[in-house]
Structure 1
Amino acid sequence: MTIWRPDPSLLRRPAYLSLAEQFTRAIQGGVLANGARLPTHRRLADDLGLSVQTVSRAYEELIRRGLIAGEVGRGSFVQTQSGEPGSPYLPERLGELIDLSILKPVCDQIHLDRMREAFAWLGENLPSSSALSFRPNMVFPRHRQVAAEWLAQCGLDVSPLNICITNGATPAMTVAMMSVAQPGATIAAEAISHHTLKPLSTSLGLHLKGVAIDHDGMIPEALDEICRNSSIRAVFLQPSVINPIATQMSRERRVALAEIAERHDIAIIENDVLGPLIQASVPPMAAIAPDRTLYITSFTKITVPGVRIGYLAAPDRYVSAVTNRHLVSNWMATPAIAEIATRWVGDGTAGELVDWQRKALVVRHAIAGEKLAGLDCRAHPQSLHVWLHLPAGHTEEGFVSQARLRGVAIAPGSSFRIADLGWRPAVRISLGSTTEQELGIGLDVIASMAIGDPEAALLVI
């Protein structure tokens, strides 16, 4: 049995979460070693003057975080060597917390209404091929034609034959990476990038090389140097504002990166999941370098989260590989949901929801601008988040932990770090994951922490 015990004088409301944070700091700080046995629920409750239910909830929270494991008949043990990276967002939304950790669009009754209307229509009009066929080519030709129309709104002129319909952006990323690189190959990416990129690369047996960035995204000279000194097969880019630092890369920068990709004959994987939501005249990488860019967009973050459909547009030389990799990893996208996406593009619902989202984000950014005024933030008028650089003296771990103890969940910047090049502690704050009122309250908490003493005692909101 371990000697360390939580300090009851440091407990704050909600007590279970405060207790879980004490254990988290002890585990991550090495005070509690891997395999250490924790006190029983009853014993710890008696020691701290808490209810058994409170301790049980604290242990459940630690299990959610992947820090402990419970074994029936033996007790609870520290588990710090799973080797799996933690997600930047909460796996479950807890009622006491204002959750600004998960990136999602602003949602209201209109989104539920449109989905219910879509399913009612689907019940009357579902094609037999979408319900009964195993053959993607029997299901998706019509969908690919409509997808080409949608991609035109994203700035692309692409043949339906070059489009693979996927169950959202993550499967499209997986297929794209499998299509351009064999296990053991190396892919370059911005030093701060998509949070799934590292675990996905590891799972596919790929090496990941971080490339230095500045205010305009990936630095071309840095990519050129890495390509000259390493065997790079592709570069993964998020040139639009979906990237963690909310940068809208300039056309000049995109052209420079495309020229380097051409010079070294490497593929470009472009993640542009916000697509037409971003009002800008900057063309996508796939329009600048169409012969080597695999372009990804989806509907989940710009219409309704439940419409998990994405489009992967590939140049001719990768179409066969994309088709085969998608077959072996997914077989095909879910036909019924693809029917909804196709109908929405055709009848204008998708465009309606994109316009609605754009207007809702104006309000959210106004709230963020007021609440975080004077702090070192990065955002874009159509970004779903704010990237906040922490003031000197604050650590990500401490800032995120204190925010949670004060009722607010945010994502640590380290979850998006591919390389330490020019790294500054930061957090990502989602603007669309809750109500306007909760967003304002949550941002007030974050702002008060950012301007306060990083060593100050934890407070209660």
Structure 2
Amino acid sequence: MTIWYPDPSLIRRPAYLSLADQFARAIHDGQLPHGTRLPTHRRLAYDLKLSVQTVSRAYEELIRRGLISGEIGRGSFVQTMRREVEPPYLPERLGELIDLSILKPVCEPMHLEKLKEALGWLGANLPASSGLSFRPNVVFPRHRTIAVEWLRACGLAPSQQNISVTNGATAAMTVALMSVAPPGSTVATEAIGHHTLIPLASYLGFNLHGLAIDEQGIIPEALDEACRTSDIRAVFVQPSVINPTATLMHGVRRSALAEVARRHDIAIIEGDVLGPLVEDRPPPIAYFAPERTLYYTSFTKITAPGLRIGYLVAPDRYVAAVANRHLVTNWMATPIVAEIASKWVVDGTAMELVHWQRAALARRQTIVKEVLGEGEYLTHPQALHLWLPLPGSRTEESFVAQARLQGVAIAPGASFRTSDALWLPAVRISLGSTTEGELRAGLGVIARLMMGEPEHLLLAI
């Protein structure tokens, strides 16, 4: 079979777009099947007598169209059979299953009662702007002023002009990435990172570069090396316990990362959804590099899951980009939910729930120590989860399946993997998604599986 190759005589101006169209037609016609490895930028540029920049732009356009994917260190591949990434958690709780797969705060009936009370208050006090206006600048000036107060508790003191009110952390993360990482660009992140970031990179057309981590998270030297050898546009980091390995980055490390980013002039996206829940933490990375850091936090995982609202702080250079991308993806945050968040910040309810959550997590961390002992797992006193490396020859797939057969759902570690570097099998276990009794029972199942010999599942035929 003859391997298809672009015809240089058919290339017209603009050359990158003409070249991308040739590849697109060949992919649609089946001449370049799924998984085909494309020539390197330099090789194709030499063969077609084009510049490397022209070929790179053509490949970026194909990534934007969803026709190819770029993999760091491996090359570019045709992507016609898009496979949706499965979330690491169960989409719904089934029967009597103890669900330790989804990351949730501890919740009790009290949380629902507080939301009901807030909705009752809102019924009598809803401002006309929040109920009737389409213009974000009409709705949110007061909310942004209140946001300054909450962000101060997170370790920042931004101007309200730099704050966007968002529909939670996912909306903030998406807008931030769209603002700094155009299609075809590369974003560095933790080698074990945010599971949503992986499919989001595919949907938005940028590449991920997983960086080496240690007990504090990203190693600054790894980021520096990536910036010197690759075209890194931004680094995405979760330095405060919410990352899969539940690690807390120290202040010196945060300052060092900020300095690397400044030296290479890249943006920083900092996810801090636990905010003031984490005690005695250093200032955010945004404190050390305010001129290039897009910082976001939210209320969902520290107050009540239904309070889907958050704040995105952008430096002056990105304020317009953030505003525009927020408009086209969300238009604006839901004003009614923002009203409740603002009320809770002002009257102290939000911080009251943070303190309650901290105490509830302390009790659950005690259960972890009682059931699992002082094992090799990673966690933090204010973590909503723990990270459990699997010993010996155990595989994630088998371990997760065996736990499921015994009525416990957990999240496989591979769902958080962003690098092809040496991988040690592990699972993530949520501590807040069930009652204390269910947590104890679920951890008991996991402890017994860890002590037993690894088993392979046998399928009846």
Aligned residue number for residue 438 of structure 2: 438
Aligned residue number for residue 330 of structure 1: 330
C-alpha separation in 1, matches of 2:162 and 2:89: 34
Secondary structure class of the residue paired with 2:234: strand
User: How many angstroms does 1:306 deviate by?
Assistant: 0.2
User: How many angstroms does 1:374 deviate by?
Assistant: 4.4
Alignment map for 1:63-82 (pairs within 5 Å): none
Q: Which amino acid aligns with 2:305?
A: P
C-alpha separation in 2, matches of 1:82 and 1:367: 42
Aligned residue number for residue 33 of structure 1: none
User: How many angstroms does 1:252 deviate by?
Assistant: 1.1
Aligned 8 A contact 2:100 2:410 in 1 = yes
Q: Which amino acid aligns with 1:204?
A: L
Aligned residue number for residue 62 of structure 1: none
C-alpha separation in 2, matches of 1:98 and 1:113: 25
Q: Which amino acid aligns with 2:339?
A: E
Are 1:226 and 2:226 matched, yes or no? yes
User: How many angstroms does 1:451 deviate by?
Assistant: 1.1
C-alpha separation in 1, matches of 2:226 and 2:457: 45
Aligned residue number for residue 409 of structure 2: 409
Are 1:243 and 2:243 matched, yes or no? yes
Unaligned runs of 5+ in 2: 1-80
User: How many angstroms does 1:422 deviate by?
Assistant: 3.7
Aligned residue number for residue 40 of structure 2: none
Q: Which amino acid aligns with 2:309?
A: I
Aligned residue number for residue 125 of structure 2: 125
* Farther off after superposition, 369-378 or 130-139: 369-378
Instruction: Deviation per CA, 1:150-182: give whole Å up to 9, x if none.
Output: 000000010111000000000100000011121
Secondary structure class of the residue paired with 2:96: coil
C-alpha separation in 1, matches of 2:350 and 2:159: 21
C-alpha separation in 1, matches of 2:277 and 2:153: 10
User: How many angstroms does 1:322 deviate by?
Assistant: 0.4
Alignment map for 1:207-356 (pairs within 5 Å): 207-356=207-356
Aligned residue number for residue 88 of structure 2: 88
Alignment map for 1:373-452 (pairs within 5 Å): 373-452=373-452
Q: Which amino acid aligns with 2:264?
A: H
Secondary structure class of the residue paired with 2:245: coil
Q: Which amino acid aligns with 2:239?
A: P
Aligned 8 A contact 1:93 1:99 in 2 = yes
User: How many angstroms does 1:421 deviate by?
Assistant: 2.6
C-alpha separation in 1, matches of 2:430 and 2:375: 16
User: How many angstroms does 1:216 deviate by?
Assistant: 1.3
Secondary structure class of the residue paired with 2:192: coil
Unaligned runs of 5+ in 1: 1-80
User: How many angstroms does 1:82 deviate by?
Assistant: 5.4
* Farther off after superposition, 448-457 or 310-319: 448-457
C-alpha separation in 2, matches of 1:429 and 1:412: 9
Secondary structure class of the residue paired with 1:262: helix
Aligned residue number for residue 100 of structure 1: 100
Q: Which amino acid aligns with 1:383?
A: A
Secondary structure class of the residue paired with 2:111: helix
Aligned residue number for residue 39 of structure 1: none
Secondary structure class of the residue paired with 1:319: helix
User: How many angstroms does 1:201 deviate by?
Assistant: 0.9
C-alpha separation in 2, matches of 1:378 and 1:211: 19
Aligned 8 A contact 2:398 2:457 in 1 = no
User: How many angstroms does 1:456 deviate by?
Assistant: 7.2
C-alpha separation in 2, matches of 1:310 and 1:161: 15
C-alpha separation in 1, matches of 2:306 and 2:102: 15
Aligned pair in 2 of structure 1 residues 149, 115: CA closer, same or farther (>3 Å)? same
Segments of 4+ moved more than 6 angstroms = none
C-alpha separation in 2, matches of 1:266 and 1:111: 40
Instruction: Deviation per CA, 1:23-68: give whole Å up to 9, x if none.
Output: xxxxxxxxxxxxxxxxxxxxxxxxxxxxxxxxxxxxxxxxxxxxxx
Aligned 8 A contact 1:215 1:247 in 2 = yes
Secondary structure class of the residue paired with 1:156: coil
C-alpha separation in 1, matches of 2:284 and 2:89: 28
Alignment map for 1:351-370 (pairs within 5 Å): 351-370=351-370
User: How many angstroms does 1:395 deviate by?
Assistant: 0.4
Instruction: Deviation per CA, 1:73-105: give whole Å up to 9, x if none.
Output: xxxxxxxx6511110000011122000000000
Tell me how large the CA RMSD over aligned residues is.
1.1
Aligned 8 A contact 2:193 2:244 in 1 = yes
Q: Which amino acid aligns with 1:429?
A: I
Aligned 8 A contact 1:172 1:311 in 2 = yes
Aligned 8 A contact 1:286 1:295 in 2 = yes
Secondary structure class of the residue paired with 2:102: coil
Instruction: Deviation per CA, 1:395-420: give whole Å up to 9, x if none.
Output: 00000001000000000000100013
Aligned pair in 2 of structure 1 residues 136, 359: CA closer, same or farther (>3 Å)? same
User: How many angstroms does 1:393 deviate by?
Assistant: 1.4
C-alpha separation in 2, matches of 1:355 and 1:374: 26
